[in-house]
Amino acid sequence: MQPRTYDAAYPGGYPSSRRRVPSAPGCAVYAQDAGELLPGNATTRFDDVALVSVASVLPGRVTTSDDIEDRLAPALHRLKLKPGLLRRVAGVNERRNWAAGESSDEATIAAGKQALAEAGVDPSEIGLIINTSVTRKHLEPSVAVRLHHGLGLPSSAINFDVANACLGFINGMSLAAGMIQSGQVRYALIVNGEDADEIQVNTINRLVREDLDRDAFMQEFASLTLGSGAAAAVLGRASDHPEGHRLVGGVTRAATEFYDLCVGSVDGMFTDAKALLKGGLDLVVSAWKEAKGEFSWTGMDRYITHQVSSVHTSAIVRAAKLDRTRVPVTYPHLGNVGPASIPITLADEQHTLRRGDRVLLMGVGSGLNTGMLELAW
């Protein structure tokens, strides 16, 4: 059974039945009752990791939902679907696409440089870069090697990709936090760059075919909500950055029986939207309830959720009983930017946060997986 790390400043204190046991320097492993480790190897706390900076770079071209529906007009008419479907059903008014001379790789490098500059961290100090994008131009080498080179990181910096659909960025942060906590690296850079252009074009071309029925159209509807963008975050030791935003800890949980509800490639994304929403909600609520023994998340100052649609956001708010005013949204003007949506939304929201605010990152990835990570701002 794996030990877990815990923050020394747990809100409200630890339950009286929990006692501290000897552990490695820098880690505090807690046992319950007669020395038994607490259940759940995917429930983690950190005591010396901070988010030092987060930055985003957005594409220069705006594609409205009206633009897309104009191209889909023959299919909408044939299938008797009312105009305004994307706005009405998903709440997506527009999304971004890369303009001429722009690319997801270059934008990700730019986001990384911006995050490093804002953190006051020199590239030579980075010991780890994790790329978390769904988008990739080839199967190998990793996308991370291109970004490592473009950012001018040292040969000693570990670099690799983490692919877990829309949950990738939170997974990357958790992995990096564990390596910082254990002393393997001092600074980590988590990056993501998404390019929805090709899948968008391929989907529209397929949806206007005469042989496509209404069910097949709706199965690909989610592809039309996708947008492009890039983001980066620098993580380091909280003891080195008292001005940083401490990673408190979080949970990850899986419901992999739903592995085939949302399957995507550059050709298209095929989704059983109704079953995916229900499975995702059940998983999030289950993880939320399991986390109650370790965390108190009912009064957070901000909930940064994965940006999918108005339907998804409303469902999460109702299921977890969140205060809607504390759930910022970017999907109306950016669409679903995959794993980049959480850091982009956090970067957009950071100027409204005050010292001492509590922030919960809430992600869901097709497969299904969910991850929640608390920050003490």
Out of 102, 166, 262, 294, which one is annotated catalytic?
A: 166
166 given a catalytic annotation: yes
27 given a catalytic annotation: no
Phi/psi region, residue 101 (left: phi>0; alpha: psi -120 to 50; beta: rest), is: left
Cβ neighbours, 10 Å, residue 106: 17
| Distance (Å) of CA 233 to CA 118, 125, 296 | 10, 14, 25
**Distance (Å, rounded) from C-alpha 197 to C-alpha 192?**
16
Out of 36, 140, 210, 243, which one is annotated catalytic?
A: 140
Whether the bond between 339 and the residue before it is cis, its omega within 30 degrees of 0, is no
Instruction: Assign 3-class secondary structure to the chain.
Output: CCCCCCCCCCCCCCCCCEEEECCCCCCCEEEECCCEECCCCCEEECCCCEEEEEEEECCCEEEEHHHHHHHCHHHHHHCCCCCCHHHHHHCCCEEEECCCCCCHHHHHHHHHHHHHHHHCCCHHHEEEEEECCCCCCCCCCCHHHHHHHHCCCCCCCEEEECCECECHHHHHHHHHHHHHHCCCCCEEEEEEEECCHHHHHHHHHHHCCCCCCHHHHHHCHHHHHECCEEEEEEEECCCCCCCCEEEEEEEEEECHHHCCCEEEECCEEEECHHHHHHHHHHHHHHHHHHHCCCCCCCCCCEEEECCCCHHHHHHHHHHHCCCHHHCCCCHHHHCECHHHHHHHHHHHHHHHCCCCCEEEEEEEECCCEEEEEEEEC
Catalytic residues: 140, 166
